[in-house]
Amino acid sequence: MRLLITGGCGFVGANLARHFLAKGWEVTVFDNLVRRGSEFNVVDLTALGARFVHGDVRCAEDLAGLPRFDAICETSAQPSAIDGYDNPLFDLTNNTFGLLNVLEKARRDESILIFWSTNKVYSGDRVNAIPLVEEPTRWAWDAASGYAAPGFSFARGISEKFDVDGGQHSIYGVSKICADLLCQEWFDAFGVRAVVNRFSCLGGPGQFGKSAQGWVAWWAIAFAFGLPLTYIGWDGKQVRDALFTPDINRLVELEITRIERCAGRVFNIGGGPECTLSLREMTAWCEKRYGRAVPVKILPTPRKADHVVYITDSSSAAEALGWRPQVTLERGLADIAAWVDKEHDRLKTLYSR
């Protein structure tokens, strides 16, 4: 199987590359290397047998010079949900028009396309309308409220049937829902075998995190180097479900090898109710793991378009592919911390003050 991974030297792309190289697939990683840390993955992945191509999905000519692939994983993106307000065009050119170039390559080559979408396609106004109760370390959905909406379950979370209308998506979220719909339309109009995964919070070894994106890894890195943290809104009690790289890799392999079951489909993908944590809970875990505290600043005003609580209902993927998350929260966090320990010297060049 010949696989192209766009954004292949980023966190998700590099982990996918390692997974499929170990399976004996022929893997090409395509990346513009603009994000710090991605240059480390060029060295590591080429040593494992991947082919590296320096290119940019925003440039159709960069993609046109590539050979045909059986499948393409489109993991390239401007991934921050807060940066786009300063430069909306940057988000759209990277995440929407870049995807369009990849879609057109998939159409020409009759390749399978797996696309990375996001939970930010769901409006902050709509998600935050779900009633809440405040608990000691987190906010939680108030099951006693009687709230009901299509695509929502107190027990399972938010599915792909949840309403995507409204504002408060962030510019990042808007750029992703545009791309998400392009994939669906290209399947219907041209038969491109595209699958859209609307992922929640992703984490794992190799994630060069920061507070705006990759926050779980960022917490571990901050504690390792004694860097300050910030709770932005909701007193640090906002909640996400976490999904870790082994489960991501396993999902994508199933989607590619069983494409007849999922072409044209949209899946909400996350760790689910069993794999949730708040910022405060992650801080407490790190304090125990590292035996230290770091300065924490508390800002009362939330980020625009942020969700208070977001938990994924992944039951559609379970029904279509038999996929369910297997990595527990404790194991996933421990794997990240072990990676930070192992890569201390490399990470020091990026994060130490």
What's 233's domain CATH number? 3.40.50.720
Residue of 85, 122, 147, 172 with catalytic role? 172
Q: Which domain holds residue 326?
A: 2-351
Quote the pLDDT of residue 5. Answer: 98
**Rounded distance between C-alpha atoms, residue 18 and residue 249, angstroms:** 9
Q: What is the pLDDT of residues 83-112, one digit of tens each?
A: 657 788 888 999 999 999 999 999 999 999
Burial of 178 (0-12, 13-18, 19+ CB in 10 A): middle
Mean pLDDT for all residues in the chain: 94
Number of domains composing the chain: 1
DSSP secondary structure code for residue 71 in this structure = E
Q: What is the pLDDT of residues 271-329, one digit of tens each?
A: 999 999 999 999 999 999 999 999 999 999 999 999 999 999 999 999 999 999 999 99
Q: What is the pLDDT of residues 161-213, one digit of tens each?
A: 999 999 999 999 999 999 999 999 999 999 999 999 999 999 999 887 665 56
Q: Which amino acid is at 286?
A: C
Q: Which helix (H) or strand (E) holds 225?
A: helix 215-225
Q: Has 172 been annotated as catalytic?
A: yes
Quote the pLDDT of residue 59. Answer: 95
Quote the pLDDT of residue 77. Answer: 81
